[in-house]
A and B are shown apart, each in its own frame.
Chain A
Amino acid sequence: MSDSNIIPKWLSVGVIPLINLFLAFCVSGLFIFFIGENPLKAISVMIKGAFYYPGAIGYTLYYTTNFIFTGLAVALAFHARLFNIGGEGQAYVGGLGVGLVCLIFDQHVVSFLVTILAILGSVIFGAIWGIIPGYLQAKRGSHIVITTIMFNFIAAALMVYLLVNVIIEPGQMSPETRDFASGVGLVQIHILAKYLGLDMAMSPLNLSFIVALTVSVGFWFLVWRTKFGYEVRSLGHSETAAIYAGIKVSSTIIIVMAISGGLAGLVAINELLGVHNKLLLGFTAGYGFTGIAVALMGRNHPFGIFLASLLFGALYQGGTELDFEFSSITREMVLLIQGLIILFSGALAYMLNPLVERVYLKYYGNYSNA
């Protein structure tokens, strides 16, 4: 899966992904046409649902936040050529970190401090869930893909056990903890806007979005400006060259997986501190898995990941609207469209390269043997 060295970068990272996206929408349109709806109308409903209706943008950006975190998590690991499939589990366990901090401290410590500690908790717990597979890969050679998948299951089982048996709010049926003390949590943007005298429609968008943007910048800095990032990228491109350069392979793998897990863990601050205000079952809802597609589409670069996250955020939100508006279009149909987009911009991302190469060479090629 290497980039072509024939066509220029603006084509391969700019134009080709757009064509892919367009193709995905065309095929989706066909499906919608076949079930008897008007594809153009569906598209317009989706776009309005994602960006136009009151609060729509807020919802879109709220989903975007989750995808940024999980996309970055996958991307960082990928820079070290590690395929971290475990974002889902790491996010889930990150939630446990948030939950434990809040449940233990929120009655005794000032809310602001609890919130800070909870954020740290999400990172640390997520990191631990990344470190273990990282350690097993680095020191024992257990393949990271297998272990991270297994750790998703372990995380799910662990959380069910804890939420059903241990930290469930006493006297209550659904597997959730009690609400965190009021004041603990990340404030939602529309509430913030109200303080500033602005009128914004209600949405779950909260300060986590700002955290996500900050972390994105930090990610870029870490990967392309620090010695550590240099070592990670060396390792990712060529383990033999990394060893030659005196880079400690196993500790680099473990640290990368720690940071990767920590990034995925941050999903919990958006969901739990920003929205639900308690720890509940299944709050990760597949964001971890979608993060893989996001990283793939975003070419492991934070800016690309931001755009891909925005796209997926819009799809999630617009899809909900689609489901709402058309009786014949169900949730499954929306998933199908997402699947097609992942297929075209992920798995088939390089499908068009030969074609574009040929067209490009035809019009711009020069056959000088320089």
Chain B
Amino acid sequence: MKTNENRRGNETIVSLPPYIKSAIELKNITKRFGHVVANSDVNLKVNPGTIHGIVGENGAGKSTLMNILFGLYKPDSGMIYLNDQAVDVNSPEKSIALGIGMVHQHFMLVPTFTVLENVMLGNEGSMFLKSGEEFVLNRLKGLSKNYGLDVDFEAIISDIPVGMQQRVEILKALNRGAKILILDEPTGVLTPQETIGLFDILRSLREQGVTIILITHKLKEIMSITDTVSVMRGGKVVADFSTEKTSPEELAENMVGRKVLLSIKKPSLKLGKKVLEVKNVSHESKDGVNVLKDISFDLKEGEILGIAGVAGNGQSELLDILSGIETLQRGQITVNDKTIVPSQEWNSKKAREFGVAHVPEDRQKRGLVLPFYNYENSILGYHRNEEYSSGFLMDKRKILNFVDDLVKNFDVRPRSSSISSGKLSGGNQQKLVLAREIESNPKILLVGQPTRGVDIGAIERIYEDLMKLKSKGTAILLVSVELDEIMSLSDRIVVMNQGTIVGETNSSDATELDLGKMMSGLEQV
């Protein structure tokens, strides 16, 4: 055991004999969940010491494939080879022993433990923590110097930012001797700067011979860091490319199965009168944290105002207040010349009456009642309207007529009024919510994370619909953690950090780097 430990400790530079052709090879992997074929006859080959990207829309089967490689799922059929040797990866313990490490989409850290304690978890060494601790600490220091993985080992996990937590996950894997690192959508939670930092780390890992599989749905990232890339669609690998020889357009086309437009045509039009004015709004959360501090901005007809920021910097609370889900504590909101102050009644019902529609950030918890049929969800929040009811009764026929048009006009699939919304894909759920809110003819549309977990085909459609709405003169407030999205859709961008607005720019002047700096709170503009 001792020798093994030592080897792992010091010799992190992996040098494989040159005759090894592939670090990982998956052959004919098939995995079913009931009716769903999550992976169908998948073949994948990754050369040692390279970064291999896997792209694919939601539900394409990427995570399933990686979970199979990591031993979390057992494939129905197929073989796994590591360094040309057939292996039986039947549990995560086994795969760790074989040198595979995985950083999951959702971190698996104990929030109240320190970094060191988390890294040691499941790997404590002896019965007495202290001796193991020193041993691990020394090794970690070596690792973190080697790969530029700067972390404060004494810090409590819940106190450090997400980007740091991710480094801890990577350290955890390396500490246990990982020579193959799987990262499942690692950049979803990071700021642009943190992403750059992560990629630096990945590059230095690659230099030292670690083989990396990177899952992402951001084509730009694939282009910037991977050596080779596989595209998955409908449980199959539909294409393999050398990254140099492909383009984002080609990747997108393979992901969706048809040509897609990645750029947006923004209609140029004159902005109308001011429809929303937010003045000095502050908000204290239930735990007494000041989540919003003195927020002021306004919004005109036909304008799209983007709110950029790392998730959790007050954007959600702002949406909640404007849409009436949260009460207004301090400051005032003027909607269509009607002013609301804290003492006045303000709730979702009222907000709708004022012409404020809301596509919530979490469509599954808020935007939809998942077990409801599409026709029931198509009127959620508007079910009191005369159009769908007579007296205290609902008029099912009118609702059905309405929803039939809705799913047709907004291309919600399947085009059925009587399917539970929970059975729709993320993209179609989002189209349904957006359709409902747009059909209410709002003066103001609040949109939170419109494309989170939405496939490329649907994103294209959602952007088109937002642009159409803009052309009709609706004011749109767009909150998103995707900078690309904010930059290409908005007319004007404000950046939020720790509950305050730290900067504002016209989208034509904005650069990703500037916005990124503001988002991380480094720079006030």
Contacts and interface: CB of A to CB of B under 8 A. Distances in A.
A238 B377 CA distance: 12
Contacts of A369: 36-37, 40, 234-235
A361 B32 CA distance: 12
Contact of B365 (A5, A241, A357): A241
A162 to B, nearest CB: 37
B162 to A, nearest CB: 24
A294 B235 CA distance: 43
Contacts of B347: 246
B19 interface: no
7 contacts: A234-B369, A238-B365, A244-B360, A244-B366, A246-B347, A246-B350, A357-B34
B367 A227 contact: no
Interface string A1-35: 00001100000000000000000000000000000
Interface residue range, chain B:
35 or more
B348 A244 contact: yes
A227 B384 contact: yes
Given A227-B393, A238-B370, A240-B366, A245 B381 contact: yes
Interface residue range, chain A:
20 to 34
Interface string A99-112: 00000000000000
Contacts of A357: 34
Interface in A224-254: 225-228, 230-231, 233-234, 237-238, 240-246
Contacts of A366: 35
Contacts of B370: 237-238
B109 interface: no
B40 A230 contact: no
A231 B234 CA distance: 37
A54 interface: no
A29 to B, nearest CB: 34
Contact of B37 (A237, A242, A243, A367): A367
A225 B396 CA distance: 8
B380 A225 contact: no
Which 5 A-B pairs rank lowest in CB-CB distance, beginning with the nearest? A246-B349, A246-B348, A245-B381, A244-B366, A369-B37
Given A226-B393, A230-B376, A246-B348, 17 more contacts: A225-B394, A227-B389, A227-B393, A233-B372, A234-B372, A237-B369, A238-B369, A238-B370, A241-B380, A243-B325, A243-B366, A244-B380, A246-B347, A246-B350, A246-B381, A369-B36, A369-B40
Interface in B359-391: 360, 362, 365-372, 376, 380-381, 383-384, 389
Contacts of A242: 369
A230 B394 contact: yes
B319 to A, nearest CB: 11
B358 interface: yes
A351 B348 CA distance: 41
Contacts of A228: 392
B423 interface: yes
Interface string B318-340: 00000111000000000000000
Contacts of B351: 246
Contacts, number: 80
Q: Identify the interface centre among B325, B350, B366: most chain A CB within 10 Å of its CB.
A: B366
A231 B347 CA distance: 16
B476 to A, nearest CB: 19
B34 A245 contact: no
Interface string B13-44: 00000000000000000001011110010000
B443 interface: no
Nearest to A243: B325
Interface of A: 5-6, 225-228, 230-231, 233-234, 237-238, 240-246, 357, 361, 365-367, 369
Nearest to B353: A246
Q: Identify the interface centre among B323, B369, B384, B389: most chain A CB within 10 Å of its CB.
A: B369
B433 to A, nearest CB: 10
A247 to B, nearest CB: 8
B176 interface: no
A238 B383 CA distance: 16
B352 interface: yes
Contacts of B380: 234, 241, 244-245
A243 B348 contact: yes
Nearest to B30: A367
Contacts of B352: 246
A78 to B, nearest CB: 14
Contacts of B396: 225
Nearest to B324: A246
Contacts of A226: 392-394
Contacts of B366: 238, 240-241, 243-244
A244 B35 CA distance: 33
B325 to A, nearest CB: 6
A240 B393 contact: no
A238 B371 CA distance: 9
A228 B381 CA distance: 13
Nearest to B32: A367
Contacts of A225: 393-394, 396
A207 B371 CA distance: 38
Contacts of B34: 6, 357, 361
Nearest to B234: A369
A75 B226 CA distance: 56
Contact of A241 (B37, B324, B367, B389): B367
A231 B383 CA distance: 9
A6 B36 CA distance: 10
A236 to B, nearest CB: 9
B381 A240 contact: no
B77 to A, nearest CB: 12
A337 B499 CA distance: 62
Contacts of B392: 226-228
A367 B369 contact: no
A240 B366 CA distance: 5
B372 A245 contact: no
Q: Identify the interface centre among B36, B362, B380, B389: most chain A CB within 10 Å of its CB.
A: B380
A6 B35 contact: yes
Contacts of A237: 369-372
Contact of A5 (B362, B369, B423): B423
B281 to A, nearest CB: 20
A233 B371 CA distance: 10
